Amino acid sequence: KEEGKMRPALEDWQQLNACRRGLVSSFLRHYRAAGYREAAPLSVTSKQDESVVFVGAAISALKKDYIYPGKLPAGGLVIAQDAVRTRNVKNMLADDFEPKWGSYFTNIDTVFPYELKDEAFARALAFFSDKVKLAPEELLLRVHSEDEELYQLVRESGWPAVEVDAHPEKYYRHTVGIDGVYGENFNFAVRHKRTGEYSDVGNFIIFRERESRRPLFMEVGFGDTVIMQAKYGLAHVMDCYPFPKHPALDTNRKFKDCIITSQAMMREGLRPSSRDEQSKILYKYLRGVYYFAGRAGMRPQELARLLHHSEAMIFGDVRAAPAMTALFAAKGGRIEELNRGTLLNLQKERNER
């Protein structure tokens, strides 16, 4: 019954939600059953990790209480952390920009002592075979031969799908926002059901002290939407979220990205302003909502309904949509005017660059 949730008819929005949530919950159960302790996630707007603007990875939630004081449980930690990575927003309004990833996703992650390396590798492979139900040839391990410890681990496993040294060295390196610490990693990639191409879905990382290369701790983490996209043959990661049927959304993933990301931020109480970096970035995502709604010729009431139903379908309740609608109304309530203003601001920014 549990695994049935992993194989829904993805055209049904309720089944789509069940699939995404089922993937996350099966990951947590998989590791809890092995003795990993479940850690509490942060809000995406938390400022606990000062090395980032938004929480973009689960490790941000684990630094203060576990990593900095050296208090990782002997059996490891497991966590499901909602995350926002804002690299799309810079070019969101450019007609020739089509983002490969969405800004909002859930990072399913484990952090554990170095001594659990071999067990953790076997457990990660078991997650893909037993829970995600992938055949061995559908999971590719991408490793760097100069990372001798990781290369040996992969080579001795006898895993049938391995790629060696196919990328520049920086592809196999990880940063964690801690001075004097870096990561050596190999990547997991899943074969896309329709195209047959492999797409990266996560990492297996040894974090080391930079000068001595002494191993400090380890991490294995994945993104929920990239696994779903490859496994089910979806065209894009944004197709993992259940939006209402609407012509303005059906062909515009950037519009979807702006809606879901701004709602994720505003559900936590963030509002657009110029007072700090988080509020400025939220403004840019909301500007994208104005812009794409205007290009689609949407009236204010139509946009309000779209925002309401999108939030209800994706998040399960409605907290941000009323505030978003109120912001539109405060700016005059006419999307056409907002759109013209956005175009003028966009042209000004391009001229300044």
Q: What pLDDT digit, counting tens, does each position of 273-324 carry?
A: 999 999 999 999 999 998 999 899 898 889 999 999 999 999 999 999 999 9
Amino acid letter, residue 295: R
- pLDDT grade for 24, boundaries at 50, 70 and 90: very high
Residues 262 and 26: their CA atoms lie apart, in Å, by 28
Backbone dihedral angles phi then psi of residue 322, each to the nearest 5 degrees: -60, -40
Q: Mean pLDDT throughout 140-158? A: 98
- The pair of structure tokens assigned to 247 is 């012509």
What distance in Å separates the CA atoms of residue 353 and residue 350, rounded to the nearest whole number? 5
Which of 67-76, 215-224, 230-239, 335-344 bottoms out in mean pLDDT, i.e. has the lowest?
335-344
Average per-residue pLDDT in the chain?
91
State the residue for tokens 């689960």: 58
The predicted pLDDT at position 8 comes to 37
**Residue 134: what pLDDT?**
97
Reply yes or no on whether the pLDDT at 348 is more than 70. Answer: no
Spatial distance between the Cα atoms of 325 and 62, rounded to a whole number of angstroms: 35
Residue 327: what pLDDT? 86
Question: 103 is written with which tokens?
Answer: 């800004």
Structure confidence by residue, pLDDT tens digits, 52-65: 999 999 999 999 99
Confidence of residue 4 (pLDDT cuts 50, 70, 90): very low
What's the rounded Cα separation, in Å, for the pair 196 and 250? 24
Global pTM reads 0.91
Q: Mean pLDDT over residues 238-242, rounded?
A: 93
Give dist(CA 2, CA 333) in Å, integer. Answer: 46
Q: What is the pLDDT of residue 347?
A: 55
Kindly state the tokens that stand for 102: 């969405």
| pLDDT (0 to 100) of residue 17 | 83
What's the mean pLDDT in 262-281? Answer: 96
Say if CB 7 and CB 16 are below 8 A apart: no
Please, which residues bridge with residue 204 across strands?
A: 186, 220
pLDDT 10s digits, 175-191: 999 999 999 999 999 99
Q: Is 270 exposed, middle or buried (0-12, 13-18, 19+ CB in 10 A)?
A: buried
